[in-house]
Amino acid sequence: MANRQKNRWLTRPAAVMAVTLVLILSACGGSGTASTTTTAEGGSDDGGGTESGFEGLNFVYASAADSIGIFKVVGDNIVEDAEALDIGMKRYDNDLDGEKALANANLMIQDDPDVAIDWNTFVGVGTAVGKIFTDAGIPCLAVNQQIPGCHWFNLSNKQIGIDAAAIVGAEAQAQGWTGEDTTILMVIAAANGREVNDGPRHFYVELAQMLEGFEQVGPEDIEDGITTNIGSSDGVQIDCLSTIEGANTAARNVLPSIPAENNILLMGSDTDCTLGALRAIEDAGRADNTLTCGLGATPEGLLQLRTNPIWLCEAALFLEDWPLYILAEAVAIARGVTPPDLTPAPQIMLTKDNVDQYYDGDSVIQLPPFVEDNQYLAETGVFQALDSMPAEG
């Protein structure tokens, strides 16, 4: 790996905010005008990139909200990487505001880009935003939140839940835990929508199939309510309100209803939700018969993975490096490639055995291997041009 890329990764620390904030599915509306920043003008006007270069490509990008740290980091890195590739880029800020997202979409089409890239968090205007792009005949790429008519780049919370269950379930099996003496505790952030909370939901579904004695339910049977019980004590779902404190309070309130002799298998919709619930479990003297997994690869999550014997895994999402994948997909679209329905973002389940392969302390040193539905991104040349190739599968 070239030094330029390795050095850049070492200056991109792990996200320090709750992942549920990054994955907001709605936001408060408001008034205001769109804001723009022009950067990284393209190198030539020959109408598009080639298999060996990117000159002449021009994109526009609307950030979710540059006022929020991780969103600004993604936007800054998109601009930086586009400039390094000699791709023209104009940047807008949706500012978690539906009216701004609509206004920005109308401004973006006036730039006549090869591809419009939009991170819209206001679900109520998604259809209208997509119509603006499609009516103008401009290909578009939606980041995180789907926009009808646009291609889609996002992570898979469902797969995170499945992967976490495989690791936690294997250890539970080794210790002889079953549904007769174990409760699966799901900690969700209810306000952030169903997809964001798919991790804990599928964590239960998969574990119930792996371990004997659990009530079998489908993911569609687990509601998004504040508290949901499955069986007498097979599964319990609580709402963390997207904070450590909220998770701690909710877990304290529900723990008395879980038999004192029961083991606990814990997963939150992000690491903060897991941390808050785990602290309540520790305060209740029940950590010795608990196994858990985090989501987000925050500094605290990485510390827990490395030092806490019951913290078995931590889902890493590599948010700071999403720009590589977003730009590669935009290049592919501009070249006439039809992407899969969902191009998956980089994600991997870190364990105590592999964490140091991907992180030096809190900083990314290696991206995970491509998977089937994002493998095509390697053919764009973006990763090679930036000396950023992921690990081999």
What single-letter DSSP state applies at residue 391?
Answer: P
Mode of pairing for the β-strands spanning 88-93 and 35-39: antiparallel
279 is written with which tokens? 């602290």
* Residue linked to tokens 């210790």: 175
Residue scoring higher pLDDT (186 or 41): 186
Task: Indicate whether 316 pLDDT > 60.
Answer: yes
Contact 80, 9 (CB under 8 A): no
- Can you tell me the distance from the alpha carbon of 301 to that of 306, in angstroms, rounded to the nearest whole number? 9
CA distances from 236 to 6, 205, 249, 351, 361 (A): 43, 12, 15, 25, 34
The pLDDT of residue 16: 40
The ranges assigned to domains in the chain are 3-154+319-345+369-385, 157-316
Task: Indicate whether 9 pLDDT > 70.
Answer: no
The pLDDT of residue 224: 76
* Mean pLDDT (whole number) for 24-48: 36
Task: Indicate whether 34 pLDDT > 90.
Answer: no
The pLDDT of residue 228: 84
Beta strands in the chain (DSSP E): 35-39, 58-63, 88-93, 115-118, 140-143, 151-154, 182-188, 228-230, 235-239, 263-268, 290-295, 311-316, 343-344, 348-351, 359-360, 363-364
The pLDDT of residue 27: 31
Cβ-Cβ contacts under 8 Å for 240 (sequence gap 6 or more): 187, 188, 189, 246, 247, 250, 268, 269, 272, 273, 276, 277
What single-letter DSSP state applies at residue 214?
Answer: P
* Mean pLDDT (whole number) for 155-159: 92
Return mean pLDDT, the chain. Answer: 88
Task: Indicate whether 17 pLDDT > 80.
Answer: no
Residue scoring higher pLDDT (86 or 40): 86
pTM of the entire structure?
0.81
Beta partners for 142? Answer: 118, 152
Task: Indicate whether 101 pLDDT > 60.
Answer: yes
> pLDDT band at 36, cuts 50/70/90?
very low
Q: Of 11-25, 126-140, 144-158, where does mean pLDDT reach its minimum?
A: 11-25
pLDDT tens sequence across 39-70 = 444 333 333 434 448 989 999 999 999 998 88
One-character DSSP codes across 164-206: HHHHHHHHHHHTT--TTSEEEEEEE-GGG-TTTTHHHHHHHHH
The pLDDT of residue 242: 86
Looking from the CA of 304 toward its CB, the CA atoms found within 13 Å total 24
CATH of 3-154+319-345+369-385, picked from 3.30.950.10, 3.40.50.2300, 3.40.50.720, 3.40.630.30, is 3.40.50.2300
Q: Of 18-27, 145-154, 178-187, 251-260, where does mean pLDDT reach its minimum?
A: 18-27
Identity at 30, one-letter amino acid code: G
Which CATH class, in words, describes the domain spanning 157-316?
alpha beta
Q: With the CA atoms of 112, 116, 119 and 122 taken in that order, what torsion angle do they form, in degrees rounded to the nearest 10? A: 60
3-154+319-345+369-385 and 157-316 agree in CATH topology? yes
Q: Select from 87, 47, 94, 41 the least CA-distant residue to 66.
A: 94
- Can you tell me the distance from the alpha carbon of 305 to that of 22, in angstroms, rounded to the nearest whole number? 22
Question: What is the share, in percent, of the chain residues with pLDDT greater than 70?
Answer: 86
